[in-house]
């Protein structure tokens, strides 16, 4: 057992510590709630006349060039403040830009026949058709819907599932992510001739810029190549970043000037020798 004097001293030190803590808390609270000083010479606000026309009267965006619907907005008979009659002064326009969710359904009456010589199946085709499928697959998406899905998925990086959700919420079009995936595959196959024309354009261009960056395909590392000419841009996803991949885009006999991006000028990778693409250890890394 400790003597009573020891307990007394410990009790006094404890009380002093508690009092000091309360004092510090009170000082901190006073500093937090202290009102800020008022500026002695506040800067006067500029008069409205010096600011020119009122900002409220200036449009924040361009006025639409086309108006599809005009809606009159009459004055109320009595004011809400005093319930007194309202006196007309002027009429000012207000514009609203909105999206009209409208889905167009087209029915193509496709004529079916056969060749008089060999008997092979023949059917008509309209430029707006996106598929020749009939029967169980007779309901197709039109070119505008497929174009939107391509932008959502390829440009904005939205998944097929969420792109299908956008079509459902915005336009009431029901589809699945696998259906959109197959539709984009068919769209890419139809764009193959245009892509080959773009490749021919960069191969015949006297000046091209080339670069590549890492790209994931099914969780595996691939390389996204880009070739830019003064007229067109060509992309290609390839398994490597060496001579073979560069030659597959431009051709081994490319005789134009090939430049690297500006950020690689300090450590350029030579791609030419005697007017052709040159395979080197630096390129094949």
Query: pLDDT tens across 217-229, in order?
Result: 888 999 999 999 9
| pTM beyond cutoff 0.75 | no
Q: How far is CA 220 from the centre of its chain?
A: 24
Query: pLDDT tens across 199-215, in order?
Result: 999 999 999 999 999 98
The CATH number of 196-284, from 1.10.10, 3.30.720, 3.30.2390, 1.10.3470, is 3.30.720
- Give the whole-angstrom CA distance, residue 236 versus residue 229: 15
Task: Name the residue among 153, 146, 155 with its Cα closest to residue 235.
Answer: 155
Task: Please check the confidence at residue 77 and state whether its pLDDT lies above 60.
Answer: yes
In this predicted structure, which of 20-24, 192-196, 253-257 has the lowest mean pLDDT?
A: 20-24
- Give the whole-angstrom CA distance, residue 252 versus residue 275: 10
**What's the confidence (pLDDT) of residue 143?**
86
Task: Please check the confidence at residue 237 and state whether its pLDDT lies above 90.
Answer: yes
Angle (nearest 5°) at CA 184 between 176 and 121: 95
Contacts of 278 (CB under 8 A, 6+ apart): 243, 270, 271, 272
pLDDT band at residue 159 using 50, 70 and 90 as cut-offs: very high
Q: What is the mean pLDDT of residues 75-103?
A: 88
CB 228 within 8 A of CB 236: no
CB 142 within 8 A of CB 187: no
Residue with tokens 């890492």: 214
Left, alpha or beta for 133 (phi > 0: left; psi -120 to 50: alpha)? beta
Q: What is the mean pLDDT of residues 170-180?
A: 89
Alpha-carbon distance values, 190 to 110, 119, 183, 184 (Å): 21, 27, 11, 10
- Give the whole-angstrom CA distance, residue 246 versus residue 236: 10
Domain limits, the chain: 139-190, 196-284
């Amino acid at each position: 057992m400790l003597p009573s004097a020891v307990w007394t001293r410990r009790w006094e030190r404890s009380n002093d510590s508690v009092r000091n803590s309360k004092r510090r808390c009170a000082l901190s609270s006073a500093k937090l709630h202290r009102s800020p000083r008022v500026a002695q010479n506040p800067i006067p606000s500029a008069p409205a006349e010096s600011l020119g026309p009122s900002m409220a009267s200036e449009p924040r965006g361009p006025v639409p060039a086309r108006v599809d619907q005009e809606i009159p907005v009459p004055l109320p008979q009595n004011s809400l403040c005093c319930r007194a009659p309202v006196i007309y002064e002027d009429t000012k326009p207000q514009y609203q830009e909105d999206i009209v969710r409208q889905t167009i359904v087209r029915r193509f009456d496709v004529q079916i026949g056969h060749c008089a010589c060999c008997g092979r199946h023949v059917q008509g085709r309209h430029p707006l058709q996106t598929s020749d499928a009939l029967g169980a697959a007779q309901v197709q998406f039109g070119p505008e819907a497929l174009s939107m899905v391509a932008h959502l998925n390829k440009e904005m990086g939205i998944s097929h599932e969420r792109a299908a959700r956008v079509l459902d919420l915005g336009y009431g079009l029901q589809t699945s992510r696998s259906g959109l995936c197959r539709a984009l595959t068919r769209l890419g196959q139809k764009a193959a001739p245009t892509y080959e024309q773009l490749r021919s354009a960069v191969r015949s261009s006297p000046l091209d810029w080339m670069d590549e960056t890492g790209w994931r395909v099914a969780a595996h590392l691939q390389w996204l190549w880009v070739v830019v000419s003064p007229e067109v841009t060509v992309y290609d996803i390839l398994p490597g970043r060496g001579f073979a991949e560069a030659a597959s885009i431009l051709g081994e006999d490319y005789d134009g000037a090939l430049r690297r991006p500006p950020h690689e000028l300090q450590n350029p990778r030579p791609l030419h020798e005697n007017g052709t693409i040159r395979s080197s250890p630096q390129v094949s890394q």
